[in-house]
Amino acid sequence: MPIYEYECTKCGKKMEALVFSKADENKLKCFHCGSGELKRIVSMCFSFGGRDISNSGSCGSGGKVGFS
């Protein structure tokens, strides 16, 4: 699944979104402030061979998936 991480250039918050096409990406709004000014960032989470290598489902942090 194409889950990408974004940072809002207006409020600075980070979020994750499921994006299937560039058209979908262009419609994204910040979950926190509603701005459409988002930039895709390099994800610190990754999966290898179809399974989460951290076994926690959240980048090994043990916390919730996503950002606040």
Question: For the chain, what are the domain ranges?
Answer: 3-41
18 phi/psi in degrees, rounded to 5: -90, 120
pTM (two decimals) = 0.61
Q: In this predicted model, what pLDDT tens digit does every residue of 23-58 receive, in sequence order?
A: 989 999 999 999 999 999 987 665 555 544 444 444
Residue 14: pLDDT band (50, 70, 90) is very high
Residue 68, C-beta contacts closer than 8 angstroms, at least 6 positions apart: 13
Which pLDDT score is estimated for 46? Answer: 59
> What's the DSSP call for residue 15?
E
